[in-house]
Amino acid sequence: MSFILTINPGNTSTKVALFDDEKSMRMEVIRHSKKETEKYASITDQLDFRKNAVEEFLNRGKIDLESIDYYIGRGGYMKPVKSGLYEVNKEMLDDLRTTKYGEHASNLGAMIAYSFASLNDKKAFMLDPICVDELDSVARLSGHPAVPRVSVFHALNQKRIARNAARDMGRDYKDVNIIVAHLGSGISVGLHKKGLITDLTNAIDGEGPFTPERSGAVPTRLFIRYVFKHGLDYKESESMLYGKSGMYAYLGTNNFQNVMEEYEAKKDEKVKLVVEAMAYQISKSIASLAAPASGDIDIIIITGGLAYSKTFTGLIIPSIKFITDNVRVYPGEDELQAMAEGVVQGLKGEVEILKY
């Protein structure tokens, strides 16, 4: 038996859990307000703040660092890699610290895991980072060679949910075609063709549907015109697309639960329009990914935090059932469990521990 600490930093929370092999012993979602995180100029600057939050979790549970055998953090923006389990090394940490490939809260996962592991000469890992890249060659062309399409999405949850769904069907993941829509503060939709995610909507860089706080795809010429007309700098332009856009830009809030309560009350026409437009765009993204598989889709999965709302998923499902009647909802995400299982499988030799 091994004690495994799993760490999943997100934009507004840090999820932490202690596992005894694959059995969860203690789990907590530590919330961070915008007031707390906006003190820091960059995500990397939040490292000590997030580490302290994990230390408080350990103290509350009276968990001794020396009792933990392995650490694993959610994987962030790095060079494109294949799906799998990686041991954290210097090259990985350098790329995450310097934000060479991009900045995201998940960059902190491996950094926090390694910082704790190094105190007691233990190993730190990372599983299926957001930069897992299995795209088909034709999916990489965007329309201009200076701006290629890249693979950035909820790889950890998408892979786990797709494998679970295939198993629930009595099939092997490598024998089925699956579309997974991960719906959260960020939204990514992926086409899993015979075990590889060959096309997807990038969850961060302005593709796919708008989300509670991200723009998704917007008309590029009109966006450029707006930026120049109003003299916006890089940070201001980026925040228009990421963090202060989507539902937040239309309604002044990114609190999806509150918005859905207003939607169900049927009193605000603007709320009704925005919610239904988001569901409409998600449905379009799902349907568009059926084309690369010539419509041969065995199952469509809706997952992520927004999937807890039956009202919201009920707006999407009727629009996509023409692809397949087999549409299933797996609300939430099992990323902490997935990470613990990944470490156990690596230690048992069931999966290869890869080098970054």
- 2 DSSP 8-state letter: -
Q: What is the pLDDT of residue 334?
A: 85
Question: Looking at this protein, which amino acid is placed at residue 258?
Answer: N
User: Which CATH topology does 3-133+335-354 take?
Assistant: Nucleotidyltransferase; domain 5 (3.30.420)
**Structure confidence by residue, pLDDT tens digits, 135-184:** 999 999 999 999 999 999 999 999 999 999 999 999 999 999 999 999 99
Q: What is the pLDDT of residue 303?
A: 97
Q: Which token pair is 352?
A: 């290869």
Q: Distance (Å, rounded) from C-alpha 141 to C-alpha 207?
A: 13
Nearest one of 219, 274, 215, 222 to 250, comparing CA atoms = 274
Q: What is the mean pLDDT of the chain?
A: 96
Q: Distance (Å, rounded) from C-alpha 251 to C-alpha 234?
A: 24
Q: Is 302 left (phi over 0), alpha (psi -120 to 50) or beta?
A: beta
Backbone angles phi, psi at 340, to 5 degrees: -60, -45
Q: Distance (Å, rounded) from C-alpha 186 to C-alpha 31?
A: 17
In this predicted structure, the answer to whether residue 302 has a pLDDT above a threshold of 80 is yes
Bridge partner list, 127: 74, 85
In this predicted structure, the answer to whether residue 262 has a pLDDT above a threshold of 80 is yes
Backbone angles phi, psi at 278, to 5 degrees: -65, -45
In this predicted structure, the answer to whether residue 278 has a pLDDT above a threshold of 90 is yes
Q: What is the pLDDT of residue 333?
A: 86
Scanning 38-76, the segments in alpha helix (DSSP H) are: 47-60
In this predicted structure, the answer to whether residue 34 has a pLDDT above a threshold of 80 is no
Q: Which token pair is 148?
A: 């290629």
**Structure confidence by residue, pLDDT tens digits, 249-259:** 999 999 999 99
Report which secondary-structure segment, H or E, holds 73. Answer: strand 70-74
Average the pLDDT over 25-50 and give the result: 92
Q: Which residues contact residue 136 at a Cβ distance below 8 angstroms, ignoring those fewer than 6 apart?
A: 198, 199, 292
Give domain limits for the chain.
Answer: 3-133+335-354, 155-331
Average the pLDDT over 284-303 and give the result: 98
pTM of the model: 0.93
Question: Looking at this protein, which amino acid is placed at residue 3?
Answer: F
Query: b/e for 104-138, b at 16 or more Cβ within 10 A?
Result: bbbbbbbbbbbbbbeeeebbbbbbbbbbbbbbeee
Strand residues in 84-231 grouped as ranges (E): 85-87, 123-127, 177-183, 187-193, 196-200
- The sign of the CA dihedral 260, 264, 268, 269 is positive
Confidence of residue 11 (pLDDT cuts 50, 70, 90): confident
Q: Is 150 left (phi over 0), alpha (psi -120 to 50) or beta?
A: beta
Q: What is the pLDDT of residue 37?
A: 87
Domains 3-133+335-354 and 155-331 share a fold: yes
Chosen CATH of 155-331 out of 3.90.1150.10, 3.30.420.40, 3.40.30.10, 3.40.50.970: 3.30.420.40
Q: Distance (Å, rounded) from C-alpha 219 to C-alpha 332?
A: 31
In this predicted structure, the answer to whether residue 12 has a pLDDT above a threshold of 90 is no
Q: Which residue has the tokens 């909507």?
A: 201
CA–CA–CA angle 265, 271, 275 (5° rounding): 100
Average the pLDDT over 42-46 and give the result: 94
Side-chain-side CA neighbours of residue 307 (13 Å): 19
**Structure confidence by residue, pLDDT tens digits, 67-106:** 999 999 999 999 999 999 999 999 999 999 999 999 999 9
Q: Distance (Å, rounded) from C-alpha 278 to C-alpha 198?
A: 24
Q: What is the pLDDT of residue 122?
A: 97
Q: What is the pLDDT of residue 75?
A: 93
Bridge partner list, 327: 300
